[in-house]
Amino acid sequence: MFPSSLPSLRTMARRTGHVLGINWRNLNYIYPFNHRKNFPLADDKLRTKTELAAWGIPMADTLGVYDSFFELRNLGEDLAAHDSFVIKPAHGRAGGGVLVVTGRSGESWLGADGRVRTLAEMKKHISDIIFGIHSFDMEDQAIVEERLTLHPEVEAISPFGLADLRVIVFRGRPVQAMLRLPTRNSGGRANLHQGAVGVGVDLAREETVHAVHLGVSVTEHPDTGAPLLGRTLPGMEVVLGLCRTLGAAVPLKYLGADIALTPRGPVLLEINARPGLEIQNANHAGLRGLLESGS
């Protein structure tokens, strides 16, 4: 692995096209194409699932929903029916409150982070979600979902959690993509600001082309040394078709789609009405030029 400092945005713009800044993104894409009344479709994961089901977009199965503290009285019995699962807030942000359970440890549960959690700790975690600790709302809902597994070709470079593919979709057109790989430092989460690796994906070649970790360019996974560049991702034709369907299904016309590449095919995790701009660093390519050119 040979890390190097990332070039300035000005240098990147000169080499690879115009960089999209946050103000330009908001004024020219978020405000005109994503009306605020439609934000709840992306911000509420349960609503996302309900509305996209009619379009046949694959998403993780919902195993349970908790709206109140009273419902937690049967939590032990509910969770005992599943070997592994994911708990997440319906209105969570940036991976906050997401708990991945990989199996049982006696009367307790084993998390993807290696921690063993008792029933009391599981109730406390879900109670915090309901109370709104991980969202901007005063209260929230806790969702229990099936735990997805990765396609073997992706798992080979992401052994520490569920990687996802972030795709920027504009008016139904996939524009730019990056693979987000969890690390030990990120605690199994795929969020770049928590220490995950961002790997740029050339949509035309369906191949990984550049990678960044904590602000520097890398060529290998920081924990395993697995080569990250020049890899062809599985199921990309299906991914692109899913993104086009998503563009037709929702009124949000500038969005980020987070997709898991699984053995059964691409599965949509969630959509984001205000996707971040780190995807440009992961690709070492500006996004503004791609949006304006229509290419």
pLDDT at 7: 47
Instruction: State pTM to two decimals.
Output: 0.89
Sign of CA dihedral 286, 291, 292, 295: positive
pLDDT at 294: 65
- Residue 210: its H or E element: strand 207-213
pLDDT at 295: 47
pLDDT at 10: 47
pLDDT at 258: 96
CB 227 within 8 A of CB 16: no
- Side-chain-facing half-sphere of 245: CA atoms under 13 Å: 15
pLDDT at 13: 45
pLDDT at 163: 94
Residues of the chain predicted below pLDDT 50: 1-16, 295
Q: In this predicted model, what pLDDT tens digit does every residue of 245-271 receive, in sequence order?
A: 999 999 999 999 999 999 999 999 999
- Three-state DSSP at 288 gives helix
Helix segments in the chain, DSSP class H = 9-16, 22-25, 31-33, 39-43, 45-53, 75-79, 119-131, 152-155, 236-249, 279-283, 288-293
Domains of the chain: 4-58+150-293 (3.30.470.20), 62-146 (3.30.1490)
Give backbone dihedrals phi and psi of 126, rounded to 5 degrees, phi first. -70, -35
pLDDT at 176: 97
CB 253 within 8 A of CB 247: yes
